């Protein structure tokens, strides 16, 4: 990428910030007034022409001022924007929005998406904790009656799943103890994705006469383990995008696209690093060419557990939005870790 002079950087930053705020092109005279540059309008026009030739600015009409291109936004995000702190009002709003879901990671992510969408007026996308690295941390069996019991699974990333099992034979203290021993020796500590129908059949084959009593519980373990390994994609506030004039006639096409799970899954899985900003034509799908996608990973005990982010128009307020996404993902990760320690 070309190295820009300090004056070109000032001009590019001013064009981007003006367009983000107003949605309108800016000309040389207005730009001088905004930046305080001690140069003539002709000099600024020449600099803007050079920035256009380098691909950082576009000129919508012959007589109009300039607007940022995708390349201009990229340079601005990577090199020019100020790194703001999250203001206290936004912090309190995010904290309050997810407070009621503490202790339930899936609800926590759902509430985080809702509050982020409400705060920014963009669409929020997120994934629940899960995946192949999810490990079974605890399995509990709670008798409910002589022929039913509640099976509870807790995973390494805080997911808690339960299911009521109805049994073919009476649930005795010996069966409960036997199930506990099997769970501790063959299931706890294993990755949830490894616990399959085949693996449960192997365990069942070693049970002898207890297989009839145990099999409904083993089947429930398999079902719950597989559900904890699955990652859910949550989308909130997509209707906010209909209010953005930048999308125009493409708004409904974007809505239809966002309602499809597989493309969203690919968008999320393609994100790199702790925080990833993909702008306009950098996106892998044509339907997102007028959008920017900001995704940040939240971690639990040092391991990536999922993602939270935003989809909105390219002229979103990056200086405010990016710190908000960073803060919220950090908050979510800390709350999940606290739940695991309790």
Q: Choose one of 56, 80, 104: the last residue of a domain.
A: 80
Coil vs helix vs strand at 312: strand
Q: Is residue 24 included in any domain, yes or no?
A: yes
238 and 275, same domain (yes or no): yes
Q: How far apart are CA 66 and CA 57, in angstroms?
A: 6
218 and 259, same domain (yes or no): no
**CATH for 164:** 3.30.390.60
Half-sphere exposure of 92 (CA within 13 A, CB side): 3
Q: Is the pTM of this model over 0.95?
A: no
**Predicted confidence pLDDT, tens digits, the chain (342 residues):** 568 999 999 999 999 999 999 999 999 999 999 999 899 999 999 999 999 999 999 988 766 789 999 999 999 999 999 988 999 999 999 999 998 887 788 889 999 999 999 999 999 999 988 776 788 999 999 999 999 999 999 888 778 889 999 988 899 999 999 999 989 998 999 988 888 888 888 888 888 888 888 888 888 999 998 888 888 899 999 989 888 888 887 888 899 999 888 899 999 988 888 999 999 999 999 999 999 999 999 988 888 888 999 999 999 999 999 999 999 999 999 998 887 776
| 162 backbone dihedrals φ, ψ, rounded to 5° | -140, 155
Q: Which domain, by its residues, includes 187?
A: 136-229
Q: Is residue 1 included in any domain, yes or no?
A: no
Number of domains the chain contains: 3
316 and 171, same domain (yes or no): no
218 and 300, same domain (yes or no): no
39 and 66, same domain (yes or no): yes
Residue 11, both tokens: 């001009």
Q: Is residue 200 included in any domain, yes or no?
A: yes
C-alpha angle 25/29/32, rounded to 5°? 100
**CATH for 45:** 1.10.10.10
């Amino acid at each position: 990428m070309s190295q820009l002079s300090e004056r070109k950087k000032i001009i590019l930053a001013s064009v981007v910030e003006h367009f983000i705020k107003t949605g309108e092109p800016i000309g040389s005279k207005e730009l001088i007034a905004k930046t305080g540059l001690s140069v003539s309008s002709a000099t600024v026009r020449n600099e803007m022409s050079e920035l256009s030739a380098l691909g950082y600015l576009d000129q919508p009409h012959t007589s109009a001022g300039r607007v940022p291109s995708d390349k201009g936004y990229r340079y601005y995000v990577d090199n020019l924007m100020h790194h703001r702190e999250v203001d206290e009002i936004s912090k309190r709003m995010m904290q309050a929005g997810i407070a009621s879901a503490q202790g339930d990671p899936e609800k926590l992510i759902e509430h985080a998406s809702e509050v982020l969408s409400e705060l920014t007026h963009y669409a929020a996308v997120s994934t629940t904790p899960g995946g192949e690295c999810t490990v079974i941390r605890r399995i509990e069996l709670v008798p409910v009656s002589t022929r039913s019991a509640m099976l509870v699974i807790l995973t390494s990333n805080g997911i808690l799943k339960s299911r009521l099992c109805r049994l073919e034979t009476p649930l005795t203290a010996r069966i409960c103890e036997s199930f506990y021993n099997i769970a501790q020796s063959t299931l706890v500590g294993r990755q949830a994705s490894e616990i399959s129908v085949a693996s449960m059949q192997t365990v069942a084959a070693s049970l002898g006469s207890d297989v009839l009593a145990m099999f409904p519980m083993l089947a429930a373990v398999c079902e719950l383990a597989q559900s904890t390994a699955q990652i859910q994609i949550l989308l909130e506030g997509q209707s906010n995008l209909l209010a953005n004039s930048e999308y125009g006639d493409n708004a409904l096409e974007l809505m239809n696209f966002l309602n499809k799970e597989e493309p969203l899954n690919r968008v999320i899985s393609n994100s790199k690093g702790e925080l990833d900003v993909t702008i306009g034509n950098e996106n892998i799908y044509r339907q997102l060419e007028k959008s920017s996608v900001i995704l940040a990973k939240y971690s639990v005990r040092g391991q990536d557990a999922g993602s939270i982010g935003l989809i909105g128009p390219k002229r979103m307020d990056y200086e405010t939005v990016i710190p908000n996404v960073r803060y919220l993902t950090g908050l979510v990760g800390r709350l999940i870790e606290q739940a695991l320690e309790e």
